[in-house]
C-alpha cells in the first residue's frame, strides 16, 4: 500500500487562544508556531497512518484568503476545540470560539528566509541571530506574509516573514539548514555618514578663521591677550565716508614686547557707471548672446581656425597720410622748437622764450658799435675821478689788486742763439775723438 495523502485529514473545530488553557502561561506556546489539538485528532491521524511530524494548514472558513501553517505540540485540548497562539489568531482574523478549518499538508524544507523586525528596539539585541535560532525551535513551519512573535528578556518582538525559499505557501523549518537574513526594521533611519576630516593646514594648526570678515582675523595675537586678537566679532567697521575697513586692523606685539595696533586700510567700492557705458565692471560682465548678435551690434567674432593652423595676429598696415588735393598749396608740418617756452629764474624774474635758431650774421657796415665803458667817471661829489692804470669795476670804481711780493727774482733772458735743448748754464763736454 502507498503512503496516505496528508490532505485526507480535514476537520472543523472551534478556535481559542492559548490564554484559555488551564494553568500558567507558557512562553513556548504563546510565542511559537504550534497548536494544541484534542485527543480525537491524534486517533484520527494514527488511523490515517500519516507520516510525522505532522503539519497543518489553518484557514478561516468565512475568509478563505486568511490562512497559515502550523505544527502540533500536544493533544490535550477539549473535544472539538483547538488552541492557537494569539499572533496566529490575528493572522486568521479569528475571535474566541470562531470556527476554523484544519487540513493536513506536506511542506518542503526551507533553505532561506528573510525577516523584518517591526520595531527598532530589535536592534538593541546584541546577538539577534542567536536569539532567533533559539526562538525558531518553537516553530515547525513559516508562511510568507505572516507576522510572527518572539519573546526575549520579557519583551515581545514582531517579525514579518518577507521572503521564503523555496517559494510557495510555506516552508518547514524542522531538521534543515536554514539561512536567515534581516531587513532594516520598520522606522529605522540610516545614520548620516560622518564627513571625511579636512586635511590639516597651517590655518587649522594656528586656529585661524578663514571665513571671518572682521579686520585682522588672520593675525595671531599675543599670549597675554588670551587667544587671538583678530577673532571674528560679527561686525564690520565703517569709516566716515562709508569705506570698509577690512584689513590690517588687528592688535599684536613687536619682537621687543611693545604693543601695536594696525590703522587699517580703506577699501572703496567701485563707482557705478551709467547704463550703456563702454566701461565694463568686473561684477557686471558683458555676455555676448544670440540676442546681441541679432541686434546688429559690433561684437568680436569667434576665432575658429582649421586643424593644424596657428594664429599669430593680424597684419598691421602702415599709416599713409591722405594725398593733397590738386591746386592746394603744399604745407609742411613744422616741428616744435625746443627751449621756446617762458619761465622764471631762481630770483623770481620772468624770462621770455628764446629761439634756438642760429642768428644770421649782419654785414660789418650795419653792425652797431658795442657800448664800452670809459676809464674815467664822476664821483658822488661831481668831481672827475683820476685815471687809473688798474682795472675798473662797476660805476668806475677801482678794482682791488692782489699784492705782489717784493723779493721776486728777475726772469732770465734767453740767449738769441739757437736752442739745442740745453740751458746756458749747463756745461757741455765735447769729445775730440
What pLDDT does residue 73 have? 92
On the question of pLDDT at 147 being above 70, the answer is yes
Q: Write the pLDDT tens digit of every residue in 205-240.
A: 888 777 765 444 444 444 434 444 444 444 455 554
Q: Are 27 and 18 in contact (CB under 8 A)?
A: no
pLDDT above 70: percentage of residues in the chain:
61
Residue 49 in grid coordinates = 497512518
Average pLDDT over residues 237-262: 67
What pLDDT does residue 305 have? 81
On the question of pLDDT at 297 being above 60, the answer is no
Q: Which of 7, 185, 189 lies closest to 101 in space, CA to CA? A: 7
Q: If pLDDT is split at 50, 70 and 90, which confidence band does 162 have? A: very high
State the average pLDDT for the chain: 75
Q: If pLDDT is split at 50, 70 and 90, which confidence band does 290 have? A: low
Residue 415 in grid coordinates = 740767449
Higher pLDDT, 363 or 198: 198
On the question of pLDDT at 161 being above 70, the answer is yes
d(CA 165, CA 181): 12
Q: Are 87 and 68 in contact (CB under 8 A)?
A: no
Q: Are 16 and 82 in contact (CB under 8 A)?
A: yes
Q: Write the pLDDT tens digit of every residue in 260-276.
A: 877 766 666 667 778 77
Average pLDDT over residues 35-54: 91
Q: If pLDDT is split at 50, 70 and 90, which confidence band does 254 have? A: confident
What pLDDT does residue 233 have? 46
Q: If pLDDT is split at 50, 70 and 90, which confidence band does 398 have? A: low
Q: Are 179 and 133 in contact (CB under 8 A)?
A: no
Q: Write the pLDDT tens digit of every residue in 58-117.
A: 999 999 889 999 999 999 999 999 999 999 999 999 999 999 999 999 999 999 999 999
Higher pLDDT, 400 or 130: 130
The sign one gets for the Cα dihedral 269, 274, 280, 284 is positive
Higher pLDDT, 24 or 234: 24
Q: Are 31 and 149 in contact (CB under 8 A)?
A: yes
Indicate the range of 24-33, 92-101, 154-163 predicted with least confidence: 24-33
Classify residue 199 by its DSSP letter. Answer: P
Residue 229 in grid coordinates = 586678537
Q: If pLDDT is split at 50, 70 and 90, which confidence band does 146 have? A: very high
What pLDDT does residue 430 have? 56
On the question of pLDDT at 316 being above 50, the answer is yes
CA 391 from chain centre, in angstroms, equals 92
Amino acid at each position: 500500500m502507498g503512503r496516505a495523502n496528508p490532505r485526507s485529514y480535514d476537520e472543523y473545530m472551534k478556535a481559542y487562544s492559548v490564554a484559555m488553557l488551564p494553568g500558567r502561561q507558557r512562553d513556548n506556546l504563546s510565542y511559537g508556531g504550534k497548536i494544541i489539538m484534542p485527543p480525537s485528532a491524534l486517533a484520527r491521524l494514527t488511523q490515517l497512518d500519516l507520516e510525522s511530524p505532522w503539519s497543518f494548514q489553518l484557514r478561516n472558513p468565512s475568509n478563505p484568503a486568511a490562512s497559515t501553517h502550523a505544527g502540533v505540540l500536544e493533544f490535550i485540548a477539549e473535544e472539538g476545540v483547538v488552541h492557537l497562539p494569539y499572533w496566529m489568531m490575528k493572522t486568521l482574523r479569528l475571535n474566541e470560539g470562531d470556527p476554523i478549518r484544519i487540513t493536513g499538508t506536506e511542506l518542503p524544507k526551507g533553505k532561506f528566509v528573510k525577516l523584518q523586525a517591526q520595531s527598532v528596539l530589535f536592534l538593541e539585541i546584541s546577538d539577534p541571530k542567536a536569539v532567533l535560532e533559539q526562538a525558531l525551535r518553537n516553530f515547525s513551519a513559516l508562511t510568507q506574509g505572516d507576522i510572527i512573535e518572539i519573546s526575549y528578556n520579557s519583551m515581545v518582538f514582531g517579525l514579518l516573514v518577507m521572503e521564503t525559499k523555496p517559494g510557495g505557501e510555506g516552508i518547514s523549518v524542522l531538521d534543515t539548514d536554514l539561512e536567515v537574513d534581516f531587513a532594516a526594521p520598520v522606522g529605522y533611519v540610516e545614520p548620516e555618514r560622518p564627513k571625511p576630516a579636512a586635511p590639516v593646514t597651517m590655518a587649522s594648526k594656528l586656529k585661524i578663521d578663514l571665513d571671518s570678515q572682521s579686520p585682522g582675523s588672520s593675525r595671531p595675537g599675543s599670549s597675554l591677550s588670551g587667544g587671538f586678537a583678530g577673532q571674528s566679532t560679527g561686525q564690520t567697521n565703517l569709516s566716515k565716508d562709508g569705506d570698509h575697513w577690512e584689513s590690517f586692523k588687528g592688535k599684536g606685539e613687536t619682537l621687543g614686547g611693545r604693543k601695536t595696533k594696525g590703522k587699517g586700510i580703506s577699501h572703496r567700492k567701485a563707482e557705478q557707471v551709467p547704463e550703456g557705458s563702454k566701461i565694463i565692471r568686473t561684477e557686471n560682465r558683458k555676455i555676448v548672446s544670440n540676442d546681441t548678435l541679432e541686434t546688429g551690434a559690433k561684437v568680436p567674432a569667434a576665432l575658429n581656425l582649421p586643424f593644424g593652423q596657428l594664429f599669430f595676429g593680424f597684419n598691421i598696415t602702415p599709416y599713409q597720410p591722405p594725398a593733397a588735393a590738386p591746386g592746394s598749396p603744399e604745407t609742411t608740418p613744422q616741428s616744435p622748437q625746443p627751449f621756446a617756452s617762458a619761465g622764471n629764474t631762481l630770483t623770481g624774474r620772468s624770462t621770455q622764450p628764446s629761439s634756438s635758431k642760429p642768428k644770421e650774421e649782419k654785414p660789418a657796415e650795419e653792425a652797431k658799435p658795442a657800448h664800452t665803458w670809459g676809464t674815467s667817471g664822476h664821483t658822488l661829489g661831481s668831481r672827475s675821478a683820476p685815471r687809473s692804470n688798474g682795472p675798473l669795476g662797476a660805476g668806475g670804481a677801482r678794482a682791488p689788486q692782489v699784492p705782489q711780493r717784493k723779493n721776486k727774482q728777475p726772469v732770465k733772458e734767453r740767449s738769441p742763439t739757437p736752442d739745442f735743448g740745453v740751458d746756458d748754464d749747463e756745461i757741455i763736454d765735447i769729445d775730440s775723438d
